[in-house]
Every structure is written in C-alpha cells, then in structure tokens.
Amino acid sequence: MHIPVLQKEVLEYFDPKPNENFVDCTVGEGGHALSILEKTGPNGKILGIEWDEQELKKLEGKIKNPDIKKRLIFTCGSYTNLKEIIKENLAYRQAGNFNSISGILLDLGMSSWHLEESKRGFSFLKNEPLDMRYNSTNQLTAEKILNFWSELDIEKIIKEYGEERFAKSIAKNIISFRQIKPIENTFQLVEIIRTSLPARTLFHSGIKRAVPFKYQRGRIHPATRTFQALRIAVNDELNNLNNVLPQALEVLKTNGKLIVISFHSLEDRIVKNFFRDKQKENLVKILTKKPVVPLFQEIKNNPRSRSSKLRTIIKIN
C-alpha cells in the first residue's frame, strides 16, 4: 500500500484551513491530497495533476465519497504545463473561485503503484520490460537508451543522474552485452550490473565485472543508481523540475506556500538554489533552513522514505 512520505510535515507546513484551495502537482495515489482535503471542507478544493493516465484512472476509481469527488479535481498532464492547466482546464474553471491558491505540492518520488503494479520496469526486483515511462506518449524508453545510445552518453547519464562511481564500467558492459543480444528486460540489466551472468552469455562476450564484489554487498542494491538514472533520463525529470518551479511561484497567492519533496541530490540542489535565489529577490521567505527529513519511525515503517527531503517557501511578494 502506498504510504505518503512526510505526510505529517506537509500538513504542518501547509496548515490548511477550511475552504482553502491547493494544487497537488503529483497526485499519484492521492495520499497527500486526501489528507489536505480533510482539513479544507466544506468548499476547499484540490487540483490533482498526474502525468500517468493509468494511475489517475486508478485513483479516480478509488474515490467513492461524493464530497471528496466534488472537491478533488483530476487532470492528466505534466506539471511542466502548470500555468496552462490552470488557465485552460475546463473542470478546473468550473470549480469556482480557484484563482486563490494557498499551497502547491510537488512530491517527486515514485508511487508504490509504479514500482509494484505498472509493469514498466521501474523496479529491479521484478522481471519486466525496460520501459520506465510515466506517460505512454513519451517516445523515449529505457530500452531505447540501453540499445541505441552511445557508450559515452550512457556513461554520462549513469554518472550524472545516478551519481554512480562505476558508470564507466557499467556502460562498457552494456555495450558488450547488446552486441550479443538486445537488452529487453530488467533482470538482464541487473545481471549486467552485477555481472553474475550465465556462463554461456559470458563466453567470448568480453563482459567483465562492472561493480566490485564488496560494492554489491552495500546498503543499497547495486542496480539502484543505474535504474534511477535511466528513469530520470527517460522522463526528463530534472528539466521538468526546473520548468515548474517558477510557474508554481507565479500562480500562488501572496502568503501561499510551495512544498517540494525530493529524493535525489540533484533534485534537492535545484530546489535549494531556486528557493535561495527567490529569497534574495525578496519574493519568498524560506521556511526550512535545512531540508526536513523523515524521522526514524517513518523510515522504519516506510523504507522508501529514507532519501526524502522536504523544503518549503512562503510567497511574500
């Protein structure tokens, strides 16, 4: 079951009041949105944006309460088009006085549904096609990257987006493997990274150990960083984040708050620098001098929260 990350902290910083309106740019399975709606009755609304049409339909089907259905407005799209969605979405306009937005949430983590049910290769624990797209209209997949990009380009994304110190050897092994057969599923990729491939595949393949044995026994799975890098590249996640932050600040009302939960140091750096620059321009006040991280009990209950960081600002001008 999906467990919203830092849910208590999100509610504390937003401090939602009756009849206030919010935007959840990554509504996913609805955990944060539903907890906010509990505080904003009787007329407060949330615009829930979700890029993945399948996940959005799943959430819509889950909502049975007529009051929640009326106050949670769904739209399928990318949060990079936030201003356009707010301006043009018919259901959004019909919601009434929604120009006054008290808070915007960006939870940049994957949902449990993507990992466990989507069958798109987000998880290295399941043998699935190497898709990794959040939206099926996207032409780029992880399989295309692995089978058609150059060794240097593959090394670059694994090194930069995955912050993987063995990016060079992993990229070299990817090229060696695909010369034998196409890389089509997650278990193939995991085996390339771990280099514990069947002897018949290794024979005359030139594939060497990409990751030292000691590294394979580390705290995180050795495939974690490579899978993360591919997902970021496929969905252009860092550029999307850079594009949405100024839009979010623009549409917030004065004293409205923007909360971003990131799971990657590059994401957190983008958010930190944007918040700092806007504070220097006297447009916002930073409410989190240091990022808020989950407490031990939350990490124990939800290990996927361990890398999450929450930052928030309030719009003052």
2 within some domain: no
**Residue 175 shares a structural domain with residue 242:** no
Mapping DSSP to helix (H, G, I), strand (E, B) and coil, where does residue 33 land? helix
pTM of this structure: 0.88
100 within some domain: yes
**Residue 12 shares a structural domain with residue 82:** yes
1 within some domain: no
Last residue of a domain, one of 217, 235, 253: 235
Q: Which of 183, 45, 167, 199 is nearest to 121 (CA)?
A: 183
- Distance between CA atoms of residues 157 and 42, nearest Å: 47
pLDDT score at 195: 75
- 88: how many CB neighbours lie within 10 A of its CB? 11
**Residue 246 shares a structural domain with residue 198:** no
**Residue 123 shares a structural domain with residue 220:** yes
- Distance between CA atoms of residues 190 and 193, nearest Å: 5
272 within some domain: yes
Give 10-residue mean pLDDT values along the chain (317 residues): 85 96 93 94 93 89 89 92 82 58 94 88 95 94 98 97 92 95 96 62 45 51 92 97 97 96 95 98 97 92 89 95
**Residue 19 shares a structural domain with residue 95:** yes
pLDDT score at 113: 84
Q: Which of 133, 179, 164, 163 is nearest to 265 (CA)?
A: 163
Q: Which of 43, 37, 45 is nearest to 10 (CA)?
A: 37
**Residue 137 shares a structural domain with residue 282:** no
Beta strands in 98-197 (DSSP E): 101-107
pLDDT score at 317: 80
**Residue 105 shares a structural domain with residue 66:** yes
**Residue 177 shares a structural domain with residue 206:** yes
**Residue 89 shares a structural domain with residue 186:** no
Dihedral sign computed on CA atoms, order 50, 54, 60, 64:
negative
By residue range, what is the domain housing residue 141? 119-235
**Residue 42 shares a structural domain with residue 65:** yes
> Domain containing 271 — which CATH number?
3.40.50.150
187 within some domain: yes
> Domain containing 212 — which CATH number?
1.10.150.170
Last residue of a domain, one of 175, 200, 235: 235
Last residue of a domain, one of 190, 220, 235: 235
**Residue 135 shares a structural domain with residue 210:** yes
pLDDT score at 115: 87
Evaluate the omega torsion of the peptide bond into residue 182 and state whether it is cis, within 30 degrees of 0: no
The tally of domains found in the chain comes to 2
73 within some domain: yes
**Residue 178 shares a structural domain with residue 32:** no
132 within some domain: yes
